[in-house]
Amino acid sequence: MARIVFDLPPHFGFDTEVQVYINHVNYGGHLDNALLLTLVSEARVRFFRALGYAENDVGGLPIVVGDVLAQYRSEAFYGEQLRIAMQPTDLSRCAFDLAWRITESSQGREVARGKHGIVFTDPATHRAASIPEAVRAQLLAL
């Protein structure tokens, strides 16, 4: 079986911690693979808040997730604190990749890595729109 290959960026400009709650755990006793993405979504909201935005108004435009890549590296368990680090990469006219890495906070064990394709949209047409220049500058500064 071919495996997804994804290289992490050399540094991350943002990180936050989240806890694995009981509702994140599946019948196997570990973090459910789909619910891991809900933790990444929480971190993404925090990322944009740290820049001074809400996801429905990033420099005057809403964003959507266009695609997701995820590599699961190890299990995470109820009660663990996870550090989610994020870094914008591959900026284009209307989108960028938000690369992320999740590690267990106390031991540094890598849990997962991946990226979300973030697309800026025109609220009237729901089509891709250019990244506002002020936002582009903030993303490049990270």
pLDDT of residue 75: 97
Rounded to two decimals, the pTM is 0.94
CATH number of the domain at 24, please: 3.10.129.10
Count of structural domains within the chain: 1
Q: Is residue 26 part of a domain?
A: yes
Report yes or no on 75 lying in a domain: yes
Compute the distance between CA of residue 133 and CA of residue 29 in angstroms, rounded to an integer.
45
Residue 4 lies in a domain: no
The boundaries of the domain holding residue 103 are: 14-141
Domain membership flag for residue 41: yes
Does some domain include residue 9? no
Question: What is the per-residue pLDDT for 1?
Answer: 74
Q: Is residue 43 part of a domain?
A: yes
pLDDT over 90 (residue 139): yes
Residue 2 has pLDDT above 80, yes or no: no
HEC per residue, the chain: CCCCCCCCCCCCCEEEEEECCHHHECCCCCECHHHHHHHHHHHHHHHHHHCCCECCEECCECEEEEEEEEEECCCCCCCCEEEEEEEEECCCCCEEEEEEEEEECCCCCEEEEEEEEEEEECCCCCCECCCCHHHHHHHHHC
Task: Tell me the pLDDT tens digit for each residue of 47-89.
Answer: 999 999 999 999 999 999 999 999 999 999 999 999 999 999 9
In a domain, 3, yes or no: no
| Residue 48 within a domain | yes
